[in-house]
Amino acid sequence: MTSGDDFGWLDDDAIVGYSVSFVEGVEPVEALERIGADVGTLPELSAADADEFSRTAGAVPVIRAGRCGTWTVLIEHDANTGVNEQTLPALSAGTRAVSVFSSASGMDLFYYAEDGRLTTIVETTIPENTYGEQPDRFLHELAEVGLGPDDEPESVRAATMALVHSVWGVAVDEETMFAAPLPTALIRR
């Protein structure tokens, strides 16, 4: 089992907020299309370069996409404009998708969608707050990574990413999150 210690870097003070999402068996460009991102031009950018790309485009939100085995990873910094409750059904059509969101205000969310349905939402900062068609679907797995109702994890962010890794075998590392040049799309909605 993966522990939250493997993802302690997510608590770096420089990381204000983020959304990291995974969709199985869907290529990066198709995943971007499913959430409505502009795939006309896809420069390969690091997180810092993607931020500059956003600024020069008039502060339009951006999302980066890459591969993680048979999954596509979608990364947004300081937002969840691209992958959220409204776009996860389309992203998961015919497959499954999992997403974690951590806001600057301290709200952390875990989403699971399957075959076009958003089935489970967990507010991981208060893990007894669960929603969706199957709100209790991952209670056992949450407890295994220290996100049970009576747990006080050292890092909710790290424990949430450990959940994704332990259940689906995918995760993002620090290199991919920040430095790796990944295809980057504007989100124009």
pLDDT, residue 186, reads 95
Q: Print burial letters for 67-103: b (CB count within 10 Å at least 16), e (below 16).
A: ebeebbbbbbbebbbbbbbebbbebbbebbbbbbbbb
pLDDT at 14 over 80: no
φ/ψ bin of 152: left (φ > 0), alpha (ψ from -120 to 50), beta (otherwise)? beta
Q: What is the pTM of this model?
A: 0.94
pLDDT at 71 over 50: yes
Structure tokens at 58: 């008039």
* pLDDT tens for each residue of 122-151: 999 998 999 999 999 999 999 999 999 888
pLDDT band of residue 1 (cuts 50, 70, 90) is: very low
pLDDT, residue 104, reads 84
Structure tokens at 134: 């199957």
